[in-house]
């Protein structure tokens, strides 16, 4: 038995202003989330980008090719009703941030981590007001409560779309500081991705590349780029 697939039933997708922002129209029908919530977006730029995803399919609808639609649905149906829990989960990454755990050897890797990560640890201390302790090895190092509270406040100040964008920018590289640096404009998303992969690239240069690992890494980069695009469009008038 063949798998059922949703097919295009509308001629054109468009946007129009509505109470609270912008909505996407499929012909004369307003687009809703899978849970039948109104898909109201805060900026015209984001609404038009979502509408473009719905204008793209010629016939069969592939949700995997609609990252902004999926993210907007998630922001409304999952993040909004459990905002504090999601914010707590992301803020917890500050207590075990990738940038704080350094290799003990070899010297070339130690130096590469220091060159790439020290400026971001310094940025967290000066710009975010959250000094972090750095250690070598994998044994946990406790971070100051005052720093963790600063990072939690930074995360909690976001709106649901911002928190949705931050999710992939933190969980995929394993670093709250890298994610916040992208949102704050300190790093581009590609720079953050590259910094998160210093260890992996060092090992690949030494032992050779693995096609499956490279494919998984490319998928993570694309997901981070999609999250960054969601963030920028949700701020753009």
Question: Average of pLDDT values for 157-175?
Answer: 98
What confidence score (pLDDT) does residue 161 get?
Answer: 98
Residue where the block lists tokens 């044994």: 139
**How many other C-beta atoms lie within 10 A of the C-beta of residue 163?**
19
The pLDDT tens digits of the residues spanning 65-87 come to 999 999 999 999 999 999 999 99
What confidence score (pLDDT) does residue 56 get?
Answer: 85
**pTM summary value:** 0.93
Tokens in use for 161? 């779309």
The pLDDT tens digits of the residues spanning 101-148 come to 999 999 999 999 999 999 999 999 999 999 999 999 889 999 999 999
User: Residue 134 in contact with residue 121, Cβ under 8 Å?
Assistant: yes
Residues ≥6 apart with Cβ < 8 Å to 53: 65, 66, 67, 68, 69
What confidence score (pLDDT) does residue 57 get?
Answer: 73
Residue where the block lists tokens 């409304």: 76
What confidence score (pLDDT) does residue 1 get?
Answer: 38
Question: Average of pLDDT values for 152-161?
Answer: 98
User: Residue 211 in contact with residue 218, Cβ under 8 Å?
Assistant: no
What confidence score (pLDDT) does residue 138 get?
Answer: 84
Residues ≥6 apart with Cβ < 8 Å to 182: 169, 188, 189, 192, 228, 231
What confidence score (pLDDT) does residue 6 get?
Answer: 77
The pLDDT tens digits of the residues spanning 176-232 come to 999 999 999 999 999 999 999 999 999 998 888 889 999 999 999 999 999 999 999
What confidence score (pLDDT) does residue 93 get?
Answer: 98
- Phi and psi at residue 101, in whole multiples of 5°? -115, 110
What confidence score (pLDDT) does residue 2 get?
Answer: 45
Q: Is 154 left (phi over 0), alpha (psi -120 to 50) or beta?
A: alpha
Half-sphere exposure of 76 (CA within 13 A, CB side): 16
Residues ≥6 apart with Cβ < 8 Å to 126: none
What confidence score (pLDDT) does residue 68 get?
Answer: 98
* Domains with residue ranges and CATH for the chain: 1-63 (3.30.2180.10), 82-235 (1.10.3580.10)
Question: Average of pLDDT values for 36-51?
Answer: 97
Of 4-18, 21-35, 155-169, the least confident: 4-18
């Amino acid at each position: 038995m063949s798998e059922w697939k949703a097919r295009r039933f509308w001629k054109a997708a468009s946007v129009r202003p509505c109470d609270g922002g912008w909505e996407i129209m499929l012909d004369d029908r307003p687009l809703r989330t899978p849970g039948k919530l109104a898909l109201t977006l805060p900026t015209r730029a984001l609404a038009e980008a979502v509408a473009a995803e719905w204008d793209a399919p010629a016939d069969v609808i592939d949700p995997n090719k609609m990252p902004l639609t999926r993210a907007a649905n998630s922001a409304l149906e999952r993040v909004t009703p459990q905002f504090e829990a999601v914010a707590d989960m992301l803020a917890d990454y500050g207590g075990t941030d990738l940038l704080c755990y350094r290799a003990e050897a070899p010297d070339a890797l130690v130096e590469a981590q220091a060159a790439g990560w020290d400026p971001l640890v310094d940025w967290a201390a000066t710009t975010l007001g959250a000094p972090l302790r750095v250690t070598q090895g994998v044994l946990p190092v406790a971070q100051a409560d005052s720093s963790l509270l600063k990072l939690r406040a930074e995360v909690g100040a976001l709106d649901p779309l911002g928190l949705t964008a931050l999710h992939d920018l933190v969980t995929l590289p394993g670093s709250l500081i890298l994610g916040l640096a992208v949102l704050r404009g300190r790093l581009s998303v590609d720079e953050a991705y590259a910094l998160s992969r210093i260890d992996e690239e060092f090992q690949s240069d030494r032992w050779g590349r693995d096609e499956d690992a490279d494919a998984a890494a490319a998928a993570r980069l694309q997901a981070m780029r999609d999250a960054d695009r969601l963030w920028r469009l949700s701020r753009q008038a």
